[in-house]
Amino acid sequence: MNFLVFLGSVRDSKPPRPARLGLRVSRACMAGLEAAGHGAELIDPLEFDLSGPFMPHFAHA
């Protein structure tokens, strides 16, 4: 069975800020799935062009 693992953050922290913890968690999930004999593919929003400003619905005046 194949699974998609979605990384839900586009934040890209570099030191001295905390590392991007979601990436570590998603890689651990993928490793667990692959160890169980399943296929896993990571969907990382930083790999896609999400140009344009983003404003959550609640931020609009």
Cis peptide before 56 (omega within 30 of 0): no
Contact call for residues 35 and 19 (beta carbons, < 8 A): no
Buried b (16+ CB within 10 A) or exposed e, 5-19: bebeeeeeeeeeeee
Categorize the per-residue pLDDT at 19 as very low, low, confident or very high, splitting at 50, 70 and 90. confident
pLDDT of 59 reads 59
Q: What is the mean pLDDT of residues 9-26?
A: 77
Residue 16 has pLDDT above 70, yes or no: no
Q: Where are the domains of the chain?
A: 1-40
Contact call for residues 44 and 30 (beta carbons, < 8 A): no
Render pLDDT for 27-56 as a digit per residue (tens, 0 to 9): 999 999 999 999 999 998 888 877 766 666
Rounded CA-CA distance 27/47 in Å is: 15
Q: Which percentage of the chain shows pLDDT scores above 70?
A: 72
Expressed in angstroms, the distance from the first to the final Cα of the chain is 45
pLDDT of 33 reads 97
